[in-house]
Chains A and B, each alone.
Chain A
């Protein structure tokens, strides 16, 4: 079983829809990252969370440390949001607080 599980693997939405991507992890962590990767490969760090909730524009990320679960929400989705969204946790069974362990990503396609 992977340490970081994301769902769904693929998500197709219509422009304007509210989107939720989920991430569950099985190890103790010091922080959780949400990353965005566009076709062509570049990775952008969207959020780093250790508790609670963060908001940036139309993006909202929440984390529940007790439940070992995080969600990324996109409100009023737009075709430019189409990308792979990756959950990554810092700290884990390896004992190092510095490395990131990644989920397999969620491919989001937003149609106009």
Chain B
């Protein structure tokens, strides 16, 4: 157990639907990062939050949004889902910026049918 908890582990949903992925960072970590891993694009950075505030944004679609709550857990919301959104979604956490090292969660596998 890495200390970073992601739920659910697997999710199957239909096109057009909306889902929420949840991440609880390792105790003491203030930064949360979201990554998407698809077969054609590989691993890509989506977004980073630090202590509740958005810190950096990557290749995140407008249909996707995220937030970090006061207890530091984070949620990634994916809406109007398309087949191409099927992927593994990873959360990672670090104490501050990523220069302090990363811990990854085990991922949520999203299948859109």
Contact = CB atoms under 8 A, between A and B. Distances in A.
Interface residues of A, number: 25
Nearest to A88: B43
Contact of A86 (B43, B44, B97, B99): B43
Interface in B72-113: 88, 90, 92, 97-99, 101-104, 106-107, 109
A112 interface: no
A48 interface: yes
B29 to A, nearest CB: 13
Nearest to A95: B56
B99 A97 contact: yes
B107 A45 contact: no
Contact of B99 (A31, A35, A102, A105): A31
Interface of A: 30-31, 33, 35, 41-45, 48, 50, 86, 88, 90, 94, 96-105
25 contacts: A31-B99, A35-B104, A41-B37, A41-B106, A42-B2, A42-B107, A43-B90, A43-B104, A45-B101, A45-B102, A45-B104, A48-B99, A86-B43, A90-B99, A94-B58, A97-B97, A97-B99, A99-B48, A99-B56, A99-B58, A99-B98, A100-B43, A100-B45, A103-B42, A105-B42
- 7 closest Cβ pairs, A-B complex: A99-B45, A102-B43, A43-B104, A96-B56, A42-B106, A98-B56, A98-B98
Interface of B: 2, 31, 33, 35, 37, 42-45, 48, 55-56, 58, 88, 90, 92, 97-99, 101-104, 106-107, 109
